[in-house]
Amino acid sequence: MRTLCASTLIGEFFVIGFAGLVAMKGDLSAATVWTVCGIGMLLTVLLCGMLSRPGAVQIGWALQAGLIASGFVVPTMFFLGAVFAGLWWCSVHYGRKIDEAKARWAAQSEAQA
């Protein structure tokens, strides 16, 4: 699960950065845009390292909600936020299935040895 979720978060890192560039053309000051985007980008990187800890998936969901909500500043982010929320769900759902399959395979290999 860590690999899939981390890949999604790194993609979000770049999307948040590009959204910040687009948001600078609006009414917000550059300091405001980069403070918010910087916090979001930092959160994605930190969350990559925290994925094995309890509560990390829930923080990831909060990040997805924030990404969708950023559509109020950059309208395209409604769509991109929804896409990344779907990717996050797939990463969590299928990542857990892959982890379970790996555990079963390891148990079978150990039993045969």
pLDDT, tens digit (0-9, with 9 covering 90-100), for 15-27 = 999 999 999 998 8
pLDDT bracket for residue 69 (50, 70, 90): very high
Q: Which amino acid is at 76?
A: T
Question: Burial code of 57-87, b = ≥16 C-beta within 10 A, e = fewer?
Answer: beebeebbebbbebbebbeebeebbeebbeb
pLDDT above 70 covers what percent of the chain? 100
Longest dimension (CA), the chain: 66
Alpha-carbon span 112 to 16, nearest angstrom: 48
Angle of CA points 17, 18, 21, to nearest 5°:
95
Q: What is the pLDDT at residue 5?
A: 95
- Where residue 112 falls among pLDDT bands split at 50, 70, 90? confident
Distance CA 98, CA 48 (A): 18
Confidence bin at 113 (pLDDT 50/70/90): confident
Q: Tell me what pLDDT residue 105 has.
A: 95
Return the pLDDT at 38: 96
